[in-house]
Chain A
Amino acid sequence: MSLTSKLQEVLVCLRAGRVTLPYPAQSAPLPPRFRGRPIFDASKCIGCGGCASNCPAREILVYDVCQEIRILKYLGRRCTYCGRCADVCPEKAITMSHEFETATGTIGDIQQRLDLFMSTCQRCGRCFTEPSKLEELKLKGYRYDDLENERWIFRSQAYLEGQPVVDDIEIELD
């Protein structure tokens, strides 16, 4: 630690100037391709469930109240902001916004819930399927995810095979 090295350090510091960002008073511009929180547009959503089927974090829950009403619940808590839901959405109802200031004291604050009206056949009263590319995205059958406890319920397979329904994997803390 000679005096010259100290002086050199002072010079380096002076040359660098002040770099600290005065956040939260002022924030740096975001990169244009930054992906923040997905925002759902209820007026565009057709309720196909493609986002729910493709979300890697299984973050979007679907609950079919009855034939005409489907509830879509985006939890927000384990979303990785991957943008896959926005990518598969055929109606472009999901936009990856630039919102990242989502810190909160209550985790329920970041959820979005959509109550969707599903069209039915005027004759038979059932929801009809269209032979199109949408078919791949659609959820098969009805889903009864647990909206209260915020978890998927995998019951479709057991239901088809006539087995007793096992609700979900419950992992105990040992």
Chain B
Amino acid sequence: MLKSLCQKMFGRSLWVYHANSGGCNGCDIEVLNALTPYYDAERFGIRLVGSPRHADVMLCQGPAMRSTAKALQRAYEAMPAPKLVFAIGSCACGGGIWHDTYSVIGPLEKLLPVNYYVPGCPPRPEAIIYGVAVALGLVEKKSAPVQFKQMEYPVPRYHPQDLKEQDGIVVYEKLDTV
């Protein structure tokens, strides 16, 4: 649903506002790198604007910080709807490496509703363009959660159907088959 809305509302061009709420500047440089002629994000109509009032998309770098929380929220409120928020970098996605220090509130989603995440520290300019392309519906996202189970647990005590009780004591028995 989000994707179809994106395609409809942002089909022509995205004007992005670039907000750093306290990152180390690494992600800022990669965002600007994505706008250089080599990567040329303007092919997709992406343009950097200087004021949140002109923007469709806010590219946020840096975690949610106490000192910039209010300013960031005000910038978000100043953007005309419909608006998207991109969390660029590990800081914005998950609070980053300093996620538990006193001045960091945590991931950006604690302050603003985040629509797309581009993890990386800093993400490559390609990764940022890829994130925008995912949002525009040009490419499919590649990541999916992974879960491995190493093996069937061969220990009988954790198969509750095999437990026996004798005089109020649970009796564990070794199974013949594992």
Q: List 5 A-B contacts (CB under 8 A).
A: A20-B43, A80-B121, A103-B123, A111-B145, A173-B105
> Is the C-beta of A132 less than 8 angstroms from some C-beta in chain B?
no
CB closest chain-B residue, reference A115: B149
Q: Assuming the A-B contacts A20-B39, A80-B96, are A101 and B158 also in contact, with contact meaning beta carbons closer than 8 angstroms in the complex?
A: no
Residues A96-111 near B (CB distance < 8 A): 99-111
* Interface membership of B134, Cβ < 8 A: yes
B130 adjacent to A103 (CB under 8 Å) = yes
Taking A40-B148, A120-B155 as known contacts, 6 extra A-B pairs with beta carbons closer than 8 A to each other, sorted by chain A number, are A19-B38, A78-B99, A107-B93, A109-B144, A114-B148, A117-B154
Complex CA gap A68/B43 in Å reads 54
A24 at interface by CB-CB < 8 Å = yes
Contact of B127 with A56 in the complex, beta carbons under 8 Å:
no
Stretch with Cβ within 8 A of B (4 or more), from A3-11, A69-77, A135-143, A156-164: A69-77
| B interface residues, Cβ below 8 angstroms from A | 2-3, 37-40, 43, 66, 69, 90-91, 93-97, 99-100, 102, 104-107, 109-111, 115-121, 123-124, 126-131, 133-135, 138-139, 141-151, 153-155, 158
* B81 CB → nearest A CB, Å: 18
Q: How far, in Å, is B57 (CB) from chain A's closest CB? A: 13
Interface of A is mostly: loop
Residues of B within 8 A of A82 (CB): 121
Restricting to A30-67, which residues have a CB under 8 Å from any CB of B?
Answer: 40, 42-43, 45, 56-59, 66
Contacts of A57 in B (CB 8 A): 90, 94, 96-97, 99
Give the CA-CA distance A110 to B144 in the complex, in Å: 6
Given A20-B40, A24-B130, A110-B143, the answer on whether A77 and B93 have CB atoms closer than 8 Å is yes
B38 and A21 form a contact (CB under 8 A) = yes
Q: Are B120 and A113 in contact, with the CB atoms below 8 A?
A: no
Query: Residue A116 at the B interface, CB < 8 A?
Result: yes
Residues of B near A104 (CB, < 8 A) are 116-117, 134, 141, 143
Contact yes or no, A117 B145, CB < 8 A: no
Picked from B90, B94, B109, B116, the residue with its CB within 8 Å of the CB of A103 is: B116
A130 at the interface (CB under 8 A from B): no
Q: Which 7 A-B pairs have the closest CB atoms?
A: A78-B94, A77-B94, A103-B131, A42-B148, A80-B121, A20-B40, A112-B146
Specify which of A23, A81, A105, A152 is in contact with B120 (CB 8 Å cutoff). Answer: A81
CB atoms of B115 and A105 under 8 A apart: yes
Complex CA distance for A79 and B131, rounded to whole angstroms: 17
Q: Which of B110, B121, B128, B147 contacts A79 (CB 8 A)?
A: B121
| B150 / chain A contacts, CB cutoff of 8 Å | 42-43, 45, 114-117
B145 lies within 8 A of A109 (CB): yes
Residues of B within 8 A of A43 (CB): 150
Question: A35 to chain B: closest CB distance in Å?
Answer: 10
In the complex the two chains form, is B2's CB within 8 Å of A105's CB? yes
What CA separation (Å) do A15 and B144 show in the bound complex? 44
Does A27 sit within 8 A of B, measured CB to CB? yes
Bound: A111/B148 CA distance, A? 11
Q: Which of A42, A79, A171 contacts B90 (CB 8 A)?
A: A79
